[in-house]
Amino acid sequence: MKNEIALRYLLLRHIKSFEERTPKSIFAEVAKSLHVTVDNEFYIVTWQIAGMQKSKRFLRTDFQFYRRGDLNKEKHSIQEDLFTSNDAIGRSFALETLDIRTTDQIKKDENARKDIRYAILEHLIFVLILVSVGGIGYGSGLVLICILVAEYLQNGSLYSTILFIVFAFVAQGAAVVGAVIYGILQFLNPESIGRKLRVTLNFGVLTIVVLLWSIGWSPQFRFTWYFFIALLIAFIIAGFRSLFYIHNRLMPLVLPFVCAGFILDGKSMAAVFGLIFSLASTLRVVYFYGSSANRVGKNTH
């Protein structure tokens, strides 16, 4: 009976070493269900994962327990003490049992979903600030939040591009600046299918704005030198963020330019608060990137 207990402890110890790489539900299920029995020839290990019962057999001779350390000392090596055959089998079992490659992807997907939820919440706060303090109006706010959220959908870049066309009818300056930058950044978008269409439509917003301006569509945009200052700040924020950002979502890089564009619509407060918020969001990304790098560094040493 002692050997079964020792083997279970050994396997649990190695499973525990991969706890951070495993979803909590899977780790708890495997750890709680792990059971070891023995017959004349084999250890029989059983466990449960994702509701499925699993089992594996080991020869009793695969493991050595309770060996006296004062016998045959000349046969012992430092390497054997540091990493025994028991540990090698235990580690291999843990990797197989937890299906680390699969659970890594599951954890990655879970983190991605959390990131998306957090980003959408951040977008909602951003737009609420622009509506309540920046005075962009409910119509502009509604279209802007749709542009931001649409990018998370399948073919979302195309949907966001189309919504920029709608945006031009309620905020010409913000729409044209944002659309032109979004069109340029499409070349960073890993989604190559439909790229030419997205680029064409985004630059088409400029044509639409010119037509609306020519027929006196209200509200009209107007140039001011403050715009060029805001544009420079937007370039700095977006450029800095791009150093720490994976370009599968482009709107966080575009938002500072949209904010600068609000100056052309006479919404200076929207530009100021929007750029401040964009800067704060960028600093959060930089902090998160640094924390993640430190964790990885610690795990690799």
Among 33, 164, 32, 23, CA closest to 99: 23
Enumerate the domain spans of the chain.
2-98, 112-299
Q: Does the model's pTM come out above 0.75?
A: no
Taking the C-alpha atoms of residue 86 and residue 63, their distance in angstroms, rounded to an integer, is 6
In order along the chain (301 residues), what is the average pLDDT of each group of 10 residues?
Answer: 83 86 83 90 89 88 67 44 69 80 57 74 92 93 94 88 94 94 88 88 92 80 87 94 72 93 93 94 77 43 35
Contact between 167 and 175 under an 8 Å Cβ cutoff? The reply is yes
What's the pLDDT at 227? 93
Cβ neighbours around 283 below 10 Å, total: 13
Burial pattern 144-169, b for ≥16 Cβ within 10 A else e, equals bbebbbbbbeeebbbbbbebbbebbb
Which backbone phi and psi does 154 adopt, to 5 degrees? -65, 135
β-bridge mates for residue 56, sequence order: 45
What's the pLDDT at 261? 94
Taking the C-alpha atoms of residue 267 and residue 226, their distance in angstroms, rounded to an integer, is 11
